[in-house]
Amino acid sequence: MKLIDTHCHLDFEVFNTDLVQVIQAAQNAGVNQFIVPGVTAVKWPELLNFADKHSSIEYALGLHPYFIDQHQDKDLTILRDMLEKENAIAVGEIGLDYFDKTLNKEKQLYFFEAQVKIAKAFSLPIIVHARKSHDDVIRIVKAVSFESGGIIHAFNGSLQQAEKLIELGFKLGFGGMLTYEKSSKLRTLAKQLPIEAIVLETDAPDMTGASHQGERNSPEYLPEVLKSLAEIRQQPEDYLAEKIYENSLTILGIRKND
């Protein structure tokens, strides 16, 4: 069984001292590929170096809505430049966060739309952070006629929104939240969706699952999300893993890491 952690921030400082062990532990657990999205322009060069050193890591470049205060117009120029020269597999992590009211909404909309347009120009998928903003994500993707799809990470919208996004070529990312029995809305959704629409992620170091509350999250725990999904859907883990592995490769246009 092989799994890809389609969203983990292994470049964050909290992994500095033991990254090699973290990757090894994940690989021992069957997770053999990691997608690390970028969050701010100042950190992109580091991320590039970091991904260069680890053959199991692929990276995306993007401006994350959490850091909206830091983003500047020139970052968009740098983004185009780097996509031209480097091997990013997607534009991300980009998006809209309306849950956190301190984040400037107009500026978020500006940078999200601009980055969707850049992804379109490079025919790259996007990795999207969306909280309370799925309708705007759908609206902008349509307005830009963006057709490369991507992943809506840590999906937490409605079934109706999920269906629209799937139609637009997106996969939906599920992580640690699925392992909590109290996540009943999310669990129902994970049962209703076609398996072709699902990818798995940890969002490490955040979004820890039920058995690891209070700990640093790690890609090593991704099989626990798969286990929950198998219980919820009443389908074998092996079957789901195989399907999800293919979904992940296809949507991100990446090769297997053998």
Helix (H, G, I), strand (E, B) or coil at 4: strand
Toward Zn ion, which CB reaches closer, 93 or 97? Answer: 93
Cα-Cα end-to-end distance for the chain = 12
Toward Zn ion, which CB reaches closer, 93 or 136? Answer: 93
Toward Zn ion, which CB reaches closer, 163 or 206? Answer: 206
Q: How far is CA 14 from CA 4, 51, 151, 216, 217, in A?
A: 21, 17, 25, 8, 10
Toward Zn ion, which CB reaches closer, 93 or 224? Answer: 93
Residues in region 107-136 near Zn ion by CB under 5 A: none
Shortest Cβ 152–Zn ion spacing (Å): 12
Residue with tokens 């999200």, as numbered in its chain: 112
Residues in region 78-107 near Zn ion by CB under 5 A: 93
Give the helix ranges, DSSP H, for the chain. 19-28, 44-53, 73-85, 105-121, 134-143, 159-167, 184-192, 222-233, 237-252
Taking alpha carbons only, the member of 195, 202, 92 closest to residue 148 is: 92
Which residues are CB-neighbours of 99 under 8 A, at least 6 positions away?
A: 131, 132
Toward Zn ion, which CB reaches closer, 5 or 113? Answer: 5
The site map against Zn ion for 10-39 (x = CB under 5 A) is ------------------------------
Toward Zn ion, which CB reaches closer, 147 or 215? Answer: 215
Shortest Cβ 154–Zn ion spacing (Å): 8
For Zn ion, the nearest residue by Cβ is 93
Shortest Cβ 236–Zn ion spacing (Å): 29
Shortest Cβ 256–Zn ion spacing (Å): 23
Please state, in angstroms and rounded to a whole number, the distance separating the CA atoms of residues 93 and 227: 26
Structure tokens that stand for 166 in this block? 């799937």
Size of residue set near Zn ion by CB under 5 A? 1
Please state, in angstroms and rounded to a whole number, the distance separating the CA atoms of residues 70 and 75: 10
Shortest Cβ 68–Zn ion spacing (Å): 14
Shortest Cβ 242–Zn ion spacing (Å): 25
Binding residues for Zn ion, rule: CB under 5 A, are: 93
